[in-house]
Every structure is written in C-alpha cells, then in structure tokens.
Structure 1
Amino acid sequence: MEKEFVSPVYQVVAVPVEKVVANTYNPNIVATPEMKLLEFSVWEDGYTMLCVCHHLKDKDQYELVHGYHRYLVMKTSERIYRRERGLLSISVINKDMSERMAFTIRHNRARGTHSVALMSHIVSELTKSGMSDSWIMNNIGMDRDKLLRLKQISGQAELFEDK
C-alpha cells in the first residue's frame, strides 16, 4: 500500500531566521522598488506566504528552496525582525538537490506577470474610489511615471481631474 502524501504546507514550523541559509542556485532577482514593496507588504499584512526549506540535519540549518526575498526582508528589516521575534515560518521538504533546483525554477516561473490592462483597470478603480495618487503609489508600489502611464492607458479623462 502506498503511503499517503501530505503536502508540506500542513507541516509549518517557525525557526530562528539565523538557522536559515540561502541556496546557491536561485536565479530570481527582485529590483529595489519591488523589494521595498515586499518589505512594506510584510509590514502591513504580515507574512502571508511561508518560505520553503530543506533541513540540513548535519548542520542543523534550513536551506531555502523558495522564498529567498521574504527571508531577506526578515534579515534586513529591523522592525519586521523585531515584530516577528526573529522567527521565519517555513515548510520543510525532503528532496535531493536536483529536485530542489527544479522546485525553485517551477515556482519562480509559475508566478506569471502582471497584465498592463488589468493594472490599468485597478488604478482606475482605486482612483474612482477616492484613493490619492500618493496612496496608490505607496500601497501598490509604483512611481509617479508608472502611475501616469497606467492612467493614460485606461483612456479615462476623469482619472486626471486633479491635474
């Protein structure tokens, strides 16, 4: 009889961030504005997605497989580190190195991208609901030029009433 599979998400543990180490193969890079947005997001909303690690038993460390940038926020943001008491929520997977590398790539590529049309629609809806340009820029992480471009794409003149 086959052993029943249990997804790692049901086996979450909180570990001191000092016991977590980055892997050497993650090709994902996040630009500075998006890192600032991630830090703001974690500050405002808490950690809503956990990191995935492989336990290195011989060193009693947890090697990141997915979630490097969420981990980096914990390491670099003093306010988040303090609030979270230095604990990072992780799920632990038990896979060999090649499987972990494939896992990282699959999860990075499966995220997709933002549709410009949908982002323009979101900006339009936020503006119509009374959110200021500065609120939109701060809360969805964009600069003034990008906000202006998205408003222009929407083609709705009323988005420029305050200009």
Structure 2
Amino acid sequence: MKELKFPCMDVKLVPIDKVIANNWNPNKVAKPEMKLLAHSIEEDGLTMPIVTYYDDKIDKYVVVDGFHRYTIVKDYFKSDVIAVTILKKDEKNLMASTVRHNRARGVHKVDLQADMVVDLIKKGWTDEQVSKHLGMTPEEVLRLKQVTGVKEVFKNRDFSRSWIINND
C-alpha cells in the first residue's frame, strides 16, 4: 500500500505579500462564483489553506491551488496574512497538482441541488435567503423549485392572474 501524506496538517500562517500566483493555472472563475466564494469565506472563514510551494530563489510562496481564495483574502478582506500548506515537488509535478486539484472538484447535479433548495425552504428559508447563501439568482431558485414539482414550496407565493374572465 502506498504511503499517504498529510500536508494539510502542516499549515503555516504567512505574510500575504510573500504569496504569488503561478503562471500556469488554466482555471478561471466567473464573477458570480467569486462573489459566492467571498460570501463563503465571510460566513465560514478560510476553511482550506492555500496549497503552495516555496521558491527560495525569489523568497515567495507560489500558489498551486487556491488562487481564487487567495485573491479574495487579499483583495476583498485586505488580510495581511494567509494560511498555506507547502508541497515539495518539481515544477512539472506542481503543474500536474494544479490541474488535479481543479478537475477533482466535481460538479453539482441539478436534481440534488433542487432537493436541497426544497429542503432549505421547508426548513424556513425564504427564496431570497436561498439565493443569497447558495449564490443563485432568484430565477435559478424558481427553476429548481419547479424541477421538483413539489407544490408546498410554492404555497407562500403570490401568483398573478394570467387572464381575468370578464362577464360583459
């Protein structure tokens, strides 16, 4: 059996100005997801350290994974420090690590997301709270509620009349 390493157990708090982006990350995040990431960090704190390697030639920690978290902590929260873990690999393997971290995140399944929306509404959240805390537009919340076909999630909604019968 291959030995399992736990770099996540060796977290360091370093000055944020000693951390820089790598020059190979192909991952881009859209503005709504960046807003959700900022909200997530605001609500939960930085729950995962930034994965880095230390480049002693320039005396900097270079981001392997977590660039967008790093950006939010630096630019939105204006923090002076950030939590990092440090990998010790050659550049080819660090580049591969970046891609693995990016690709291993998975995707949301619409039906499971819809079930979660319904469950949160049943637990007392409004559509607005679901929208805010899950980073969804009101239209997305509505669509996911419609996917479920569960009538009780619509019970507190006002509906406009499509047409009115005029008895003239």
TM-score, with normalisation over the residues of structure 2?
0.88
Q: Secondary structure at the match of 1:28?
A: coil
C-alpha distance in structure 2 between counterparts of 1:57 and 1:126, whole Å: 48
Q: Who is 1:33 aligned against? A: 32
TM-score, with normalisation over the residues of structure 1?
0.91
Q: Secondary structure at the match of 1:62?
A: strand
Is residue 98 of structure 1 aligned with residue 97 of structure 2?
Answer: no
Name the structure with the higher helix share: 1
Q: Who is 1:137 aligned against? A: 131
Q: What do the CA deviations read for 1:23-73 (whole angstroms, capped 9, x no partner)?
A: 111111111111001001101110001110010112110000000000010
Is residue 154 of structure 1 aligned with residue 153 of structure 2?
Answer: no
Q: CA deviation at 1:7?
A: 2.2
C-alpha distance in structure 1 between counterparts of 2:52 and 2:34, whole Å: 21
- The count of residues paired between Structure 1 and Structure 2 equals 155
Q: What do the CA deviations read for 1:104-157 (whole angstroms, capped 9, x no partner)?
A: 111111110001011000000011111011111111110011111100101111
- Which ranges in structure 1 are unaligned for 5 or more consecutive residues? none
C-alpha distance in structure 1 between counterparts of 2:135 and 2:10, whole Å: 32
Is residue 12 of structure 1 aligned with residue 11 of structure 2?
Answer: yes
User: 5 Å matches for 1:37-116?
Assistant: 37-77=36-76, 80-82=77-79, 86-116=80-110
Q: Which runs of 4+ in 1 moved over 4 A?
A: none
Of structures 1 and 2, the larger Rg is shown by 2
C-alpha distance in structure 2 between counterparts of 1:48 and 1:69, whole Å: 13
Q: Secondary structure at the match of 2:43?
A: helix
Q: CA-atom RMSD, angstroms?
A: 1.2
Which letter does structure 1 place at the counterpart of 2:100? R
C-alpha distance in structure 2 between counterparts of 1:111 and 1:69, whole Å: 14
Q: Percent identity?
A: 42
